[in-house]
């Protein structure tokens, strides 16, 4: 049955919704003072449920765009992030809020942030639903963090295992047999 493969729930739907409301309130305050146009850039596909919940609480005019990037399999190099889908909007002079599902090694965001500044963004701040600091390999910190999680592979609320489990309304850990 749906949900049977879950070993434990780490963060419930209620906790996520409450935290999104808090983050949205904070973001509203911080971006209201900047005066620049706000562009929310979400990284596909994992950030979509978080994005949808979060923007309900950002009480400012904003625009949205999406990027899809993937790491080349088997490579350890920071530069090897491939753009699968680039932005449709020109970002010159804009204030960007980059929305991510989880910061793990930090490689993806390190490269994407550099790309956005390369395209002329005025300022790039990062909001992530989850942070897994124990796994960090490159120095990058999110400006806004939903929850810090231990060094375990998590699924749900956008996060997948082999493209599954993104629609779970909570963050959880899978039973070991799922990987066998
Ligand atoms: P990073 O470049 O920070 O190592 O990796 C970021 C990406 O790796 C995330 O956007 C996510 O797609 C994937 N990832 C990292 N940790 C996890 C995890 O615990 N669970 C899932 N489902 N994906 C993860």
What is the per-residue pLDDT across 8-20, written as a single tens digit (0 to 9) for each? 999 999 999 999 9
Cα 145 off chain centre by: 9
Distance from C-alpha of 126 to C-alpha of 142, rounded to nearest angstrom: 5
Question: Does the model's pTM come out above 0.85?
Answer: yes
- Measured from the Cα of 103, ligand 1's closest atom is 3
**Residue 66: partners with Cβ closer than 8 Å, 6 or more residues away:** 41, 42, 43, 44, 85, 87
Residue 153: name the closest of 1, 6, 4 by CA: 6
Contact 100, 70 (CB under 8 A): no
The pocket around ligand 1, CB under 6 angstroms, is made up of 46, 100-108, 153-155, 159-161
12 CA to centre of ligand 1 in angstroms: 19
Question: What pLDDT, on the 0 to 100 scale, is given for residue 72?
Answer: 65
% of the chain residues with pLDDT over 90 = 86
Provide mean pLDDT across the span 62-69.
Answer: 96
Instruction: Look up residue 1 and give its DSSP letter.
Output: -
Residue with the smallest CA separation from ligand 1 atom 15 is 104
- Measured from the Cα of 165, ligand 1's closest atom is 22
Distance from C-alpha of 151 to C-alpha of 82, rounded to nearest angstrom: 26
Residue with the smallest CA separation from ligand 1 atom 17 is 153
């Amino acid at each position: 049955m749906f949900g049977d493969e879950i070993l434990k729930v780490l963060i419930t739907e209620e906790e996520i919704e409450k935290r999104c409301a808090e983050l949205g309130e904070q973001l509203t305050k911080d971006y209201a003072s900047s005066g620049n146009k706000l562009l929310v850039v979400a990284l596909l596909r994992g950030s979509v449920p978080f994005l949808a919940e979060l923007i309900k609480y950002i009480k400012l005019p904003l625009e949205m765009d999406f990027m899809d990037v993937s790491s080349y399999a088997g490579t350890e190099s920071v530069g090897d992030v491939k753009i699968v889908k680039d932005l449709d909007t020109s970002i010159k002079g804009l204030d960007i809020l980059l929305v991510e599902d989880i910061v793990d090694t930090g490689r993806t965001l390190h490269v994407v942030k550099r790309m956005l500044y390369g395209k002329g963004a005025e300022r790039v701040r990062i909001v992530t639903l989850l942070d897994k600091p124990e796994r960090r390999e490159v120095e990058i910190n999110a400006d806004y963090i939903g929850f810090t999680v231990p060094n375990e592979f998590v699924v749900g609320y956008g996060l997948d295992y082999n493209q599954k489990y993104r629609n779970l309304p909570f963050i959880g850990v899978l039973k070991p047999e799922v990987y066998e």
